[in-house]
Amino acid sequence: MFNALFDLVKQFTNDSAKFNHIHGKGWTCIIGDLDIAQLTSLGEALALIDNSYTWEEHLIYIFKSCQ
């Protein structure tokens, strides 16, 4: 799901999605519910962009939960 979202961002902007904790600029948070599949998908998508963090560590930097 998130890989598809990041691909759409690239299609529409001609630039890849940027994340503050990876690139020093860009998205600072992503808001979602606490669905484990959603969390895992986001973390794994970010780990594909930057494998210097585990998928769980990426979530610490960017994920904010809501109910």
Query: In the chain, what percentage of residues exceed pLDDT 70?
Result: 99
Global pTM value? 0.86
Number of residues that make up the chain: 67
Q: Which amino acid is present at 59?
A: L
Count of C-beta atoms within a 10 Å radius of residue 18: 13
Reported as type and span, the H/E element at residue 16 is none
Residue tagged 């990876």 (tokens):
22
Residue ranges of E strands in the chain: 30-32, 63-65
Q: Residues near 5 by Cβ (< 8 Å), separated by ≥ 6?
A: 17
pLDDT at 62: 95
- At 17-31, the pLDDT tens digits run 999 999 999 999 999
pLDDT at 22: 97
